[in-house]
Amino acid sequence: MDYSMLQHYWWLLVSLLGALLVFLLFVQGGQTFIFPWQKDITLQKMIINSTGRKWEFTLTTLVTFGGAFFASFPLFYSTSFGGAYWVWMLILFCFVIQAISYEYQSKRGNVWGKKTFQTFLFINGVLAPILLGTAVSTFFTGANFIVSKRAIFDFVDTPGVISAWQPFNGIQLHGLEAVLNPWNLVLGLAVLFLARTTSLLYFINNIDDKEADRRAHKSLLPNALIFVVLFVAYVIFLLTKEGWAVDPNTGIVSIEAYKYLHNFLAMPIVLILFLVGVLSVLAGIGITILKPSFRKGIWIEGVGVVLTVLALLLVAGWNNTAYYPSMADMQSSLTIVNSSSSFYTLRAMAYVSILIPFVLAYIFYAWRAIDIRKITRKEITTDDHTY
């Protein structure tokens, strides 16, 4: 594997981790039903335990995603995490309060009350998907930063600072300006309603209870419709907008009309992944709605979510595309070429990545062991080892 192939390989792995993370956000989506379903206390406890047994998977994937990004494309990590830190700090704060809430809501001596921690879970459920979706959307809409590698030799003003975040309309918002772009919010809201839709499919599969099944089916169609409308709107926006193309010989960045549409057409395998993913998402939802006894929609839809997000992230970085465009200075835009680690680092990590299938096998085993028995009212009311 030469240097270019390693760069493409690691963008593929990072994109796959990002796609898995979006699927696992069903934990956050499930938490948004804590208060709408609170009239039935036992049912509320059932959905908390259903998502509570999976929150570590989501958090671990988020940390792994960030670690892989840092190791393979450190300039993105230093630019985004170092400049847009308010967005990332809010995301991390959301996941911190989630972990605390699951562990302490039912602890003895909880002077804040169970509802306080359930409110934290609801906040995590709403904000985490929106903020993550908004952050990912900047891969297509751009961010406000400047990169100057010569600054590493500046020992006076800003010693060693390569990336600098620029003020937005004279105000330094450190990434929060992303929410002022309505299309970033469209993707953020699409991710939220996708997470809610996936969580409903998960409840149907994971909870053995007639009332839970009835409520999940009742909520599935409206949440799925909102997601589809938001997602279709964003895809139309993406395929018709300008993108940032990179000359492979000179590294010069320029604006190209319909760049992301061209990327799909130039990479037919990625286009097929995207179309199969979208159809799988719709199939998983549609079969579950039309056939109430069908309980495996989560797996059809889940595979579709992973394939769809993977394809979108691949068109953001492959085919000579700037995956993190700079709105302040076009030539500062980050690509998989100018932001990656050295050849030796990528090659060494590539050897380590051989272990990924074994990790995935362990996750499958652990998941199956946790879900081998469906959650029931009897278990929730008689088992002391519950959230």
Q: How confident is the model at residue 324 (pLDDT cuts 50, 70, 90)?
A: very high
Contact 325, 333 (CB under 8 A): yes
What integer best gives the mean pLDDT of the chain? Answer: 90
Could you write out the DSSP letters of every residue in 118-142?
A: HHHHHHHHHHHHHHHHHHHHHHHH-
Q: How confident is the model at residue 160 (pLDDT cuts 50, 70, 90)?
A: low
Contact 273, 263 (CB under 8 A): no
Residue where the block lists tokens 């600054």: 151
The tens digit of pLDDT for each residue in 41-62 reads: 888 889 988 998 888 889 889 9
The tens digit of pLDDT for each residue in 161-197 reads: 677 888 877 777 888 888 889 999 999 999 999 999 9
Specify burial of residue 344 (Cβ count, 10 A radius: 0-12, 13-18, 19+): exposed
Contact 336, 317 (CB under 8 A): yes
∠ CA 299-354-60 to the nearest 5 degrees? Answer: 55
Give the DSSP H or E segment for 354: none
Residue 330 pLDDT exceeds 60: yes
* C-alpha to C-alpha distances, 376 to 107, 204, 205, nearest whole angstrom: 22, 12, 12
Residue 9 pLDDT exceeds 70: yes
Nearest Cα to Cα of residue 125 among 222, 36, 6: 36
Specify the pLDDT at position 243: 94
Q: How confident is the model at residue 102 (pLDDT cuts 50, 70, 90)?
A: confident
Specify the pLDDT at position 157: 56
Specify the pLDDT at position 384: 64
The tens digit of pLDDT for each residue in 207-228 reads: 998 999 999 999 999 999 999 9
Specify the pLDDT at position 106: 72
0.85 exceeded by the pTM?
A: yes
Could you write out the DSSP letters of every residue in 23-77?
A: HHTHHHHHHTTTTTTTTSHHHHHHHHHHHHTTHHHHHHHHHHHHHHHHHH-HHHI
Residue 353 pLDDT exceeds 90: no
Query: Where would I find the beta strands (DSSP E) of the chain?
Result: 145-147, 163-165, 243-246, 253-256
Residue 156 pLDDT exceeds 60: no
Q: How confident is the model at residue 105 (pLDDT cuts 50, 70, 90)?
A: confident
Record the tokens describing residue 260, joined without a space: 């992301």
The tens digit of pLDDT for each residue in 108-127 reads: 777 787 888 989 999 999 99
Task: Give, as one character, the DSSP assignment of residue 171.
Answer: B
Q: What contacts 116, CB < 8 A, 6 or more positions away?
A: none
